[in-house]
Structures are given as structure tokens and as C-alpha cells.
A = this chain, B = another copy of it.
């Protein structure tokens, strides 16, 4: 039985607590939140679980084996560091940290103490992403050409970060998971209209082998869109996460370059076949992820969404910020 202390009971924290309590191998032995209102809500939802407004107290508790840090990004580093120093495993909300340097320090610390860090890239545990990964791994899509995501809606505005830090981590972690290569460089453009942070932004990530990723994030869109196109040489995928039933559509469409004879010859031919929507597992991703974290703690192995994976996302966000502030300058990673 692994005992968790959870810091942060705002929007996402209650889901982490609920899932940890439902799993058979874990329990929640402490919840911490600065806000009295949140603590009242925590008490109502979880009668009997000790509450505190002091993270240090929770981290120090001998009843806590692992700490879940479900707070705003600026506080991740201090809380995770304190937890690791106290010998506790850490589950951290994404993005992992505010800077690359912080992430590297936490990774080093965890390695030294032989503790696990898991960064909460929940999407990697959805049926949809698992299915796409499977399609790539088994060669169905063929060589990858591009990953192109649109993730827009009205709000929620964050006060301390721009729209890239709020919405892009989802895609950055997914794309890192799907594309078997390290990102090389980042270009980001965008604009701010309301509160001093970019609220509309576009990010291109260059990968080796002519693979390109693009992320369109926007807090000022009248409609919610969660659509990703993934182009491969053999097949192409449209993933619409707002669809209830057919989230993933695999198109048997492709392009072939043939030898043309002259200037006016058509050099490229198209193939257009069936479309296929594979059944996608309907699990609750967070539960699968936390269960996997328990495996990793018990087995003493690093999760694939460990500090290193979290660091990659932060590295790209940091580069994107720099590119954004210089209106699209290429930032090598």
C-alpha cells in the first residue's frame, strides 16, 4: 500500500485524490491546500482524511510515501524538491517546472535518492493516444510526415503563464511520445490582446528526417477544437478528441512520387481508400496513469513519463517563449 499526500485541491486535485483512493494499492493520507474553501470541499469529499494548509507538514509526515503536487507551475520546483529531499516519490502536474534548470535539478536529486518522479502527462494514458502509438509502432502509418494539432477554446486564462504554457504541454508530451526522435528546433509566434500574456500562439517544432510538428493554441476561440492530424507515408490519422465515439479515424490515403517525363508531367499520384475508426479503450486515463506510477514505485523503475520526459516539454516551452518574444526566431534545442 503506497500512501499519498496530495498538495493542491483546486480543479485537478480532486480527480487525483478520487483515483488514488479508488485504486487498491494506494491510499490518501493527507491533503494540503492554502485555501480554506478548498479544504472544506476536501473534507466533504473525503471524510477522515487529514487536512492541512502547510505543505511542509504534509511532506514531513511519516504517513506519506509519495507526494502529488497538483499546484500552479511556479510552485512545482520548491514543493517537489522538498518532497524528494524528504525521501518521497513525486507525482507532479504538467508542465513539470518553470525552467529547464529546475527540471534538471529535480531529476538529479531523484536519481541520487533513488526516487521516482512522474510528470502528469495524462493524455499519454488515454485510449486514443495509446491506439495512435500502436498504429505507429506496428508500422501502419509508415514513415511520419507531420503532427498538426489545434487546441483552442474560450479561456481559461491563466495569470502567471501564457497560452503556450497552458495548452501546449498536452501536445508537446503527446508528440514527444509518438515521434521517435528528439526535437531539434522551435519557432513560435503569437500575440497578446488582454492581460499581458500571449493568448493566441503558434508553435512549429522541427524534428530530424523532415518531420514537422505544429501546435495552434488559442484562448480567444469561440468554439472548442481538439483536433490533431498526423500524416504518414502509408496512412494518415485524424484524431478529434471531442468526438464521443469515433475519436480516431485512420485514412488509407497516401501520396506517391512517380518519375515524370517533362515539365508538365504530373509527378505525384494519390491513393484514396477506406477509412477506419478503430475501437478506442474507454478507460479513465488518470487511473491508468496512477496505477502505472504504483507499478514503477513498487518495481523501482522509471516511468516513460518521468522527469526526463517532463524536462523535454519544459525545454520546448522555454525555447518557444524565447522565440515568441523575438517574433519567430528559430531556437535550437
Interface residues of A (CB under 8 A from B): 47, 145-146, 148, 150, 152, 154-155, 157, 159-160, 185, 187, 189-195, 200, 202, 204, 206, 210-212, 214, 216, 218-224, 229, 231, 236-238, 242, 244-246, 249, 251-253, 255, 257, 260, 263-268, 270, 272-279, 323, 326-330
Known: A200-B212, A214-B216. A154 touches B272 (CB 8 A): yes
Judged by DSSP, the binding face of A is: strand
Q: In the assembled complex, how far is the CB of residue A157 from the closest CB belonging to chain B, in whole angstroms?
A: 4
Q: Is the CB of B251 within 8 A of A222?
A: yes
- The answer, among B146, B148, B191, for a CB contact under 8 Å with A146, is B191
Q: Is the CB of B187 within 8 A of A189?
A: yes
Can you list 29 A-B pairs, Cβ within 8 angstroms, ordered by A?
Answer: A145-B191, A145-B200, A148-B200, A154-B253, A154-B270, A155-B268, A159-B260, A159-B267, A187-B187, A187-B328, A191-B211, A191-B212, A194-B255, A200-B212, A202-B202, A202-B214, A206-B327, A218-B231, A220-B231, A220-B236, A222-B231, A222-B238, A223-B229, A223-B251, A252-B279, A274-B278, A274-B279, A328-B328, A328-B329
Q: In the assembled complex, how far is the CB of residue A262 from the closest CB belonging to chain B, in whole angstroms?
A: 10
Q: Is the CB of A146 within 8 A of B210?
A: no
- The answer, among B148, B253, B263, B270, for a CB contact under 8 Å with A216, is B148
Q: Which 4 A-B pairs have the closest CB atoms?
A: A187-B328, A222-B251, A222-B236, A189-B204
Q: Which residues of B contact A224 (CB under 8 A)?
A: 244-245
Q: Is the CB of B327 within 8 A of A193?
A: no
Q: Which residues of B contact A265 (CB under 8 A)?
A: 159
| Copies per assembly | 4
CA distance in complex: A234, B171 (Å): 30
Known: A220-B146, A221-B229, A236-B222. A155 touches B190 (CB 8 A): no
Known: A193-B210, A200-B145, A216-B148. A187 touches B327 (CB 8 A): yes
- The answer, among B218, B257, B263, for a CB contact under 8 Å with A195, is B257
Q: Which residues of B contact A157 (CB under 8 A)?
A: 255, 266-268
Question: In this complex, what residue of B is CB-closest to A231?
Answer: B220
Q: Which residues of B contact A148 (CB under 8 A)?
A: 200, 216, 218
Known: A145-B220, A193-B145. A277 touches B276 (CB 8 A): yes
